[in-house]
C-alpha cells in the first residue's frame, strides 16, 4: 500500500466511482472518492481502474498513478425506495420552488407542507414540496385553495430512477476530462 503522504498540495485528485455497469454510482451528488479511498479499493481488488491521472503516489516498493475513474467489481443495486430526506425532496423537485418555479441553491430552499401541519398535514412524500422562502411565507398555514397556491407538480414519492435522472441534469463543480465519457455517454451517442 503506497503512502501518499503530503506529496499532493492543493489538488485532491478525486476518482469518479462507477457501478459495475459503468454508470456512475450516483449522479447527484456525483459519486466521487478521495484518492486515498480509491487507491485502497484498488489494493483490496474491489474496483477496476478505467482511467488515471498523471500524478503518482510512491511507496518504497512501488509507484502508482492515481485512478481518475474506477468501477466497482460488484454491482450495487439502487435502493428501490429512495430515502425521504431533505435532499431527495429537493432533487425530486429539481431544486425549484414548486410555487413560483424559481430554481435556487439548496440553502435558499425550504419545505412546504401542502396541507399545513396545523391543519393535519403530514410530513410525507406526497405532502411536502420544495418552496422558496418568500412563497413559503406567503402560503403560511393556508390550504392551497385558500391562497390559490398549488404546487406545480403534485408531490409524490419518486422512484430511485427518477431521482437519478433528475440528478443527471446538474453538472458537478469539478469535472475531470476522463470522466466525461462516463457521465454523458448517451448524450454523445445522440449527437
Stretch that binds Zn ion, among 58-66, 80-88, 95-103, 143-151 (CB under 5 A): 95-103
Give the interface size with Zn ion as a residue count (CB under 5 A): 5
Which listed residue (13, 28, 53, 99) binds Zn ion by CB under 5 A?
A: 99
Q: Is 97 in the site for Zn ion (CB under 5 A)?
A: yes
Nearer to Zn ion, 102 or 165 (CB): 102
Per-residue x/- mask for Zn ion, residues 103 to 132, rule CB under 5 A? Answer: -----------------------------x
Stretch that binds Zn ion, among 28-36, 50-58, 89-97, 161-169 (CB under 5 A): 89-97
**Cβ–Cβ under 8 Å, residues 94 and 169:** yes
Dihedrals φ, ψ of 40, to 5°?
A: -60, -45
First to last CA, the chain: 43
Return d(Cα 177, Cα 68) in angstroms, integer.
9
Q: Is 41 in the site for Zn ion (CB under 5 A)?
A: no
Q: Whose CA is closest to 147, among 114, 108, 110?
A: 114
Q: Is 149 in the site for Zn ion (CB under 5 A)?
A: no
* Cα 17-177-188 angle, rounded to 5 deg: 90
Burial class (CB in 10 A: 0-12, 13-18, 19+), 130: buried
Return d(Cα 31, Cα 183) in angstroms, integer.
11
Q: Three cell numbers at 83?
A: 430515502
Nearer to Zn ion, 17 or 135 (CB): 135
Stretch that binds Zn ion, among 41-49, 133-141, 155-163, 171-179 (CB under 5 A): 133-141
Q: How far is the CB of 129 from Zn ion (least distance, A)?
A: 11
Q: Is 32 in the site for Zn ion (CB under 5 A)?
A: no
Contacts of residue 43, Cβ cutoff 8 Å, sequence gap at least 6: 1
Q: How far is the CB of 92 from Zn ion (least distance, A)?
A: 16
Which listed residue (8, 64, 78, 100) binds Zn ion by CB under 5 A?
A: 100
Q: Which residues of the shown chain bind Zn ion in the complex (CB under 5 A)?
A: 97, 99-100, 132, 135
Amino acid at each position: 500500500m503506497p503512502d501518499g503522504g503530503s506529496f499532493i498540495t492543493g489538488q485532491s485528485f478525486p476518482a469518479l466511482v462507477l457501478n459495475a455497469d459503468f454508470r456512475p454510482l450516483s449522479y447527484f451528488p456525483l459519486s466521487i472518492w478521495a484518492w486515498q479511498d480509491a487507491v485502497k479499493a484498488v489494493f483490496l481488488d474491489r474496483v477496476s481502474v478505467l482511467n488515471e491521472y498523471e500524478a503518482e503516489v510512491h511507496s518504497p516498493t512501488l509507484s502508482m498513478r492515481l485512478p481518475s475513474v474506477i468501477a466497482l467489481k460488484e454491482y450495487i443495486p439502487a435502493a428501490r425506495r429512495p430515502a425521504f430526506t431533505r435532499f431527495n425532496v429537493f432533487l425530486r423537485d429539481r431544486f425549484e420552488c414548486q410555487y413560483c418555479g424559481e430554481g435556487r441553491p439548496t440553502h435558499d430552499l425550504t419545505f412546504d407542507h401542502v396541507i399545513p401541519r396545523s391543519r393535519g398535514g403530514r410530513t410525507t412524500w406526497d405532502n411536502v414540496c420544495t418552496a422558496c422562502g418568500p412563497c413559503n411565507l406567503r402560503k403560511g398555514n393556508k390550504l392551497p385553495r385558500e391562497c390559490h397556491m398549488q404546487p406545480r407538480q403534485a408531490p409524490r414519492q419518486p422512484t430511485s430512477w427518477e431521482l437519478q435522472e433528475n440528478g443527471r441534469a446538474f453538472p458537478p463543480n469539478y469535472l475531470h476530462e476522463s470522466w466525461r465519457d462516463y457521465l454523458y455517454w448517451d448524450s454523445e451517442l445522440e449527437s
